[in-house]
Amino acid sequence: MTTFGSLGDLNPFIALARGLQARGHRPVIATSALYRDHVRSSGISFQPVRPDLDPGDKGLIRRAMHPRKGTEVIIREIVFPAIEDTYADLDVFLRNNDILITHSIGYAAHIIAEKRGLTWISAVLSPIVFLSAHDLPVMQGFPFACVSEKLGPAMSRLVIKAVKRVTLRWCRPVDRLRATLGLGPGKHPLFDGQHSPFLVLAMFSRVLARPRDDWPPHTRITGFGFYDATADRGALSPELEKFLNTGPPPVVFTLGSVAVHTAGDFYRMAATASVALNRRAVLVVGKDTNNLSAEGLPPNVMAVEYVPHSKLFPKAAVIVHQGGIGTTGQALRAGKPTLVVPFSHDQPDNARRLERLGTSKTLILRRCTSPNMTRALEVLLKDTRMGGRAHAVGASVRSENGISAACDAIEALLAATNPSRLSQKGVR
């Protein structure tokens, strides 16, 4: 299983690997060396694959989270320059494996699957990846897509055609690698080329998107795959437990595992808004000491470095977050209304989908000020209908078993393509 990106990209693969392991298979996760300890602490075997990520490179992180250029930075400055190294790492490792499961950004893995004629499975974590003309997403650098609901499918297809044409020039390193391997021009790597012809796992809830006619064949919506607590970080601290138990539910502020490194004044604005509303708050600030320290905080506001979302979110009144798909899934499962401040990538599209559900409001990053945050939270805290809707959606998400559904689909494919290996279990 190969993945790349933030914890929001890794944790669903860990959840899936653990589900497969419980059924007797031998999963291995291949990703950046940065996540070696995180993967191994979950009980899953790990294999390092380039490119390596440097969490200390704040400049690169800022560029990668740019509201318009972030996705282009990740593809053109991080992933594609290392695609030959990625291919080389995977080429050796995959010689002893029976099946390959890939992330959307696993471009080298997609090429290996084609080169070797492998039966492989692609996993999609966010609805934006399908780029449907019937549900055109909000896309970075293409602001006209924000009005997609007014365009209709015909105009949306023209938008998609333009997006593919513009991004095709990003993909020249892929073309060079394919030529070196003796492969002809393939499908667009960022779009059609990333989807397996055998099985596509849409690892998100049906409340966010429903199947469309222009989705890839053999797509199965499974529901979310949740994993967010390692062995040594699985419980709330005594201090946080005491805070949560000595007052009404707080507003929780978090920016996930990447946007937290480019928080700017977000947490200071959060503390100010909490005081203005006279509400208790928990700020999940990460390791960056510039975000906010506990010193000088109002008595009704607590700052913590990290808390498993699955343990904290159900105790919240409202959750304010960046809209990453992992955080989005956890907030939906908790059944709480949300305020989304999207930074980049799939986050603006996820925010729009939450608004359509009637469980959330969106505060655009450039308009994120303490007064605007205060006003938005005041509406959310008073809107009992939105709270009721969030509660109902949460029950629906909790009723799904994304990992079980994904494992069933994987084993069905294994049974159809290699029944003797499946009967032995221990498939690697």
| Domain range summary for the chain, segments of one domain joined by + | 7-224+401-423, 238-399
pLDDT at 142: 54
Return the CATH architecture of domain 7-224+401-423. 3-Layer(aba) Sandwich (3.40)
Selected from 3.40.50.2000, 3.40.462.40, 3.40.50.12780, 3.40.50.720, the CATH number assigned to the domain covering 238-399 reads 3.40.50.2000
pLDDT at 254 over 80: yes
Q: What is the mean pLDDT of residues 291-296?
A: 63
CA atoms within 13 A on the CB side of 298: 19
pTM over 0.85: yes
Closest CA relative to residue 142, chosen from 124, 125, 156, 127:
156
pLDDT at 153: 87
| 124-137 tens-digit pLDDT | 999 999 999 999 88
43: which strand partners? none
What gap in Å lies between CA 178 and CA 180, rounded to an integer?
5
283: which strand partners? 253, 303
Which amino acid belongs to residue 406? A
Token pair, residue 342, equals 């999207």
pLDDT at 231 over 60: no
pLDDT at 247 over 50: yes
Domains 7-224+401-423 and 238-399 alike in fold: yes
The DSSP line for 54-116 is -TT-HHHHHHHT-TTTHHHHIIIIIIGGGHHHHHHHHHHHGGG-S-EEE-TT-HHHHHHHHHH
What gap in Å lies between CA 118 and CA 113, rounded to an integer?
5
